[in-house]
Amino acid sequence: MSSESRLYTFSPETREKLRKFRLGTSRAKDAQAIIYIIDSKTQEIRPEDGTVYSKLEDIADELPESSPRFVLLSYPLTLPSGRLTVPYVLLYYLPENCNPSMRMTYAGAVELMRNTAEVNRVIEVESEEDVISIASKLGGTD
């Protein structure tokens, strides 16, 4: 077992929500996102408040200016070939001015979050603008 999995935890309820979100978003017509935080006292990774966002602007507005967050995002888009795709990604929000200990906390948990949420891709974002313009990154490949 890796060290980060001993450091950070997911409640059974959160694991079930992650699974349901992943399965429920694959056929979604609109973007869907949930913001996750790491509880500094318990080291539990959990949804910030349970809100499911459907607009990138709303997600950007909710992200704090000085502390990191994980954002699970399912974002339907049409490829240049005309094929519809629904990338399921983890946005690793790491603002430039966040404190070093928070930066380290989230850096230590990113792989665990990626594996537990079963996302294929992690995209690091630093600002609200990065979040709002994420569609351009999703259209490309790894």
pLDDT by residue (tens digit) across 53-99? 999 999 999 999 999 999 999 999 888 888 888 899 999 999 999 98
Longest dimension (CA), the chain: 48
Architecture of the domain delimited by 12-139:
3-Layer(aba) Sandwich (3.40)
Q: Chain-wide mean pLDDT for the chain?
A: 90
Cβ-based neighbours of 99, under 8 Å, separated by 6 or more: 66, 67
Q: Token digits for 133?
A: 């313009």
Per-domain residue ranges for the chain? 12-139
Buried b (16+ CB within 10 A) or exposed e, 88-107: bbbbbbbbeebeeebeebbe
Predicted pLDDT at 4: 52
Beta strands 84-85 and 45-47, pairing class: unpaired
Give the span between the Cα atoms of 63 and 114, in whole angstroms: 19
Give the span between the Cα atoms of 7 and 5, in whole angstroms: 5
| For residues 110-126, average pLDDT | 95
**pLDDT > 90 in the chain, percent:** 73
| For residues 13-38, average pLDDT | 91
Is pLDDT larger for residue 73 or for residue 138? 73
CB atoms within 10 A of CB 3: 9
Name the band, by pLDDT with cuts 50, 70 and 90, for residue 141.
very low
